Structure 1
Amino acid sequence: MRPESTNGTSGGGLAVPMAWLCAEFLADQVLRTGGLVEPGSLEYRAGRETLALTVYLCGAEDCPASVLTASRLDEWLSVTAYGHPWQEWVRDRMAERESVDLPGTDPDLELARASWGWLERTELLAADLGDDADPWHPALPVDPAACENAQVWTPAWRLGLPLGHLAVHLY
């Protein structure tokens, strides 16, 4: 027998993480529309997870799947912009949500934790833009070919963040 509600409020029934699923759907929709990377690639997953976490922590409870407003997109652009302390922002927002959640009772938060864990643990090979370089406008060395070949391992969120930002901008 199915529970009376599908959002986890049916008193012990199946808890469906609707806010997280909505955030993932929106992130996927925005990334696919941008067409920046191949769906199914690790880069795509990094962008989708980063953007889904951003959408969720910006308040996906109201599930704006039908209408993406300009103010909602502006908020996502602001949070994912270069120079914004996104990693600290995520940690603070997660801590706020965890402080009001009993462990294991919020399926949305559980999926957000798993996503954040994957983004922090997984490293991807990416172009080395240097620690002081602006990734949007890196200064090219004398030999541009040397820049193209320089790669480093970086946490998935560091690659997903500019990808998500650009996808939102193109949306």
Structure 2
Amino acid sequence: MQPEGTNGTSGGALAVPMAWLCAEYIADEMLRTGALVEGGSLEYRAGRETLALTIYLCDGSDELAGVRAVSRIEEWLNLTSYGHPWPAWARERLDARGERERQLGGGPDPDLALARDSWKWLRQTELLAADLGDTEPWHPANPLDACVDEREQIWMPAWQLGLPLSHLAIHLF
């Protein structure tokens, strides 16, 4: 059954953001499997949004297939690793996709719209979390140096908490 009305995209058919929905599903599965934080919490959402955005922006064709996604795990690990300039990388990729959207015309891309909303949420939402300082908590050089006083907390952008959660979830998957 055809929809009664559309927003002018996809040649008159309903525009379904399949690439974003697939990326979000994969991210959700990885985080649920890792059981690092309680599902439904803001911390969980930070991890899911960060990982979904990473997965979505890694794919050059704007389509995800399960087989291809499995081959990308090393890339996702590298992008979410400590010290990688993930926010700059995400901004550049979103800008490049926006430019491609403008060049192609034909209306807004529903996948890109959801990715932009996710990026906006990750930047503007701040979470109170343990102050990890300058340590590399998910790969400490010396395990004895990995002790973090969880009573010392700071406000940080959601992506900053989502990155280590994403990285650990990928490792545990």
TM-score, structure 1 as length reference:
0.85
Give the letter aligned to residue 87 of structure 1: P
Structure 2 gap segments, 5+ residues each: none
Distance 1:97-1:140 versus aligned 2 partners, 3 A rule: closer
- How big is the shift at 1:129? 1.7
Give the letter aligned to residue 61 of structure 1: D
- Which residue number in structure 2 is paired with residue 64 of structure 1? 65
Distance 1:14-1:67 versus aligned 2 partners, 3 A rule: same
Give the letter aligned to residue 64 of structure 1: A
- How big is the shift at 1:83? 0.7
SS at match of 1:148: coil
Q: C-alpha root-mean-square deviation of aligned residues, in Å?
A: 2.3
Give the letter aligned to residue 16 of structure 2: V
Give the letter aligned to residue 106 of structure 1: D
Deviates more, 1:85-94 or 1:95-104: 95-104
1:53 and 1:153 map into 2 onto residues whose CA distance is 22
Give the letter aligned to residue 150 of structure 2: E
- Which residue number in structure 2 is paired with residue 88 of structure 1? 88
Matches within 5 A, 1:4-83: 10-59=10-59, 61-65=62-66, 68-69=69-70, 71-83=71-83
Distance 1:68-1:100 versus aligned 2 partners, 3 A rule: closer
SS at match of 1:152: strand
- Which residue number in structure 1 is paired with residue 160 of structure 2? 158
- How big is the shift at 1:79? 0.7
1:34 and 1:166 map into 2 onto residues whose CA distance is 8
- How big is the shift at 1:139? 3.9
1:99 and 1:68 map into 2 onto residues whose CA distance is 25
Q: Does the 8 Å CA contact 2:135/2:146 hold for their aligned counterparts?
A: no
Encode CA deviations 1:131-151: one digit per residue, 9 max, x unaligned.
Answer: x3323338478xx7xx22100
Distance 1:140-1:170 versus aligned 2 partners, 3 A rule: closer
- Which residue number in structure 2 is paired with residue 134 of structure 1? 136
TM-score, structure 2 as length reference:
0.84
Q: Does the 8 Å CA contact 2:137/2:146 hold for their aligned counterparts?
A: no
Does 2:108 align with 1:111? no
Structure 1 gap segments, 5+ residues each: none
Encode CA deviations 1:10-68: one digit per residue, 9 max, x unaligned.
Answer: 41221000000000000001111111111101100000000000000001733223664
- Which residue number in structure 2 is paired with residue 123 of structure 1? 126
Sequence identity (%): 62
2:168 and 2:146 map into 1 onto residues whose CA distance is 21
